[in-house]
Chains A and B, each alone.
Chain A
Amino acid sequence: MPEATATFEVRRQGPAAIVDIRGDVTAGSEEVLMSAYEETGDARAIVLNFTDLAYMNSGGIGLLVTLLVRANRHSQQLLAFGLSDHYAQIFELTRLDEAVGIHDTESDALAAAGAA
């Protein structure tokens, strides 16, 4: 298993859980990401904060698909904010944007999640 190069910190905001992502997200981040997901508990919405994302490769995008499946299984909404223009385009290219709600700011994402 490749080494994890990212951290995922979870904070609760009402019915939503915000996951602050820092560093490089790669396939090696699977364990830490899924552990962060467990921390979100019964949150109705998972909000991914990409503001401090340094880099993400295709393995990282694959992890987000797996996270989406898990969230869907638990009837949780998956949202994102803080994506750079580049990664917003990658979400469009891979068509992740069709399943993950993308917002400019944390407050926009929380409002969409009904947690503002």
Chain B
Amino acid sequence: MSEVNEKAAARDATNWAKKVSTLNVSEVPEGAVAINVEGKRLAGPIQGFGKMWQKTYQVRLPAERASATDLIATWKQRFPEFWPEGNNFYAPLTGIEPGEVALIGMTLPGKMKLSTGVMVLYADEESFTLMTPQGHMFAGWITFSATERNGQTVAQAQVLMRASDPIFEMGLTMGGHKQEDRFWQQTLTALATHFEAPMAHVDTQVVCVDKKRQWSKWRNVWHSSAIRSTLYMLGAPVRGVKGLFGSKQPVA
């Protein structure tokens, strides 16, 4: 194998997640819920229901504040800290590494709680990509990257997605897209603030890649994390009572 091919093979092995058929959550942190992640398949834009969107959010920082690799290293390490309040990203213990699964707790309009997660599909020194499981509000991936140009370091979050099912599609149409835009704008502002550029403007570009809805995917609603999270919440009192009167294991 030539030196070039060896380098490419090494990048392949280290940067991409290994193939998995379903997701496995090795540890559930306190406060997190894995019901919408454990045993689910990954779902990309091809598996989603709604229109396909590519949303790009960018913020520019003076290059002397952070190089592209420094910025991505920090973003990976402190990823949950940059999320807007009320939303939790339970990072894997080993950090943002290919193949790792992270759980997410989100607050939707109406204070509705939603439990979901993502898998780290790809990670290198200048970018990383998170892919969604079945039942997530959208099917797709988000790539976080940084590039250096014209004396600036440009941090970018780019979402390629379709709403997972007809209910999420309706939700996105009725304000969900705007809420998502605000979410990533706030995230990038928090990132810029970390690098002492709190006034940096976040550029947003939204492109509808495919106006067609994939009606054959309407059954994705079966996996809906919104419905399952709600049912899980409603079942909390029953689980509490069961916990109180549950059988105790005999001490050996």
Contacts and interface: CB of A to CB of B under 8 A. Distances in A.
A86 B12 contact: yes
A112 interface: no
Contact of A92 (B19, B121, B141): B19
A94 B42 CA distance: 7
Given A62-B141, A69-B52, A54 B160 contact: no
A93 B42 contact: yes
A90 interface: yes
A59 interface: yes
A65 B45 contact: yes
Interface residues of A, number: 25
Given A57-B15, A58-B141, A65-B44, A94 B121 contact: yes
A86 B221 CA distance: 32
Given A62-B160, A89-B19, A69 B122 contact: no
Given A57-B124, A58-B141, A62-B141, A69 B42 contact: no
B121 to A, nearest CB: 6
- Chain B contact patch, size range: 35 or more
Interface string A55-90: 101110010011011001100000000000011011
Nearest to A99: B46
Given A68-B46, A86-B13, A95-B41, 8 more contacts: A27-B158, A55-B12, A57-B122, A57-B124, A66-B209, A92-B19, A95-B44, A95-B47
Interface of A: 2, 27, 54-55, 57-59, 62, 65-66, 68-69, 72-73, 86-87, 89-90, 92-96, 98-99
Interface of B: 4-5, 8-9, 11-13, 15-20, 41-47, 52, 54, 121-122, 124, 127, 129, 131, 141, 143, 145, 147, 158, 160, 209-210
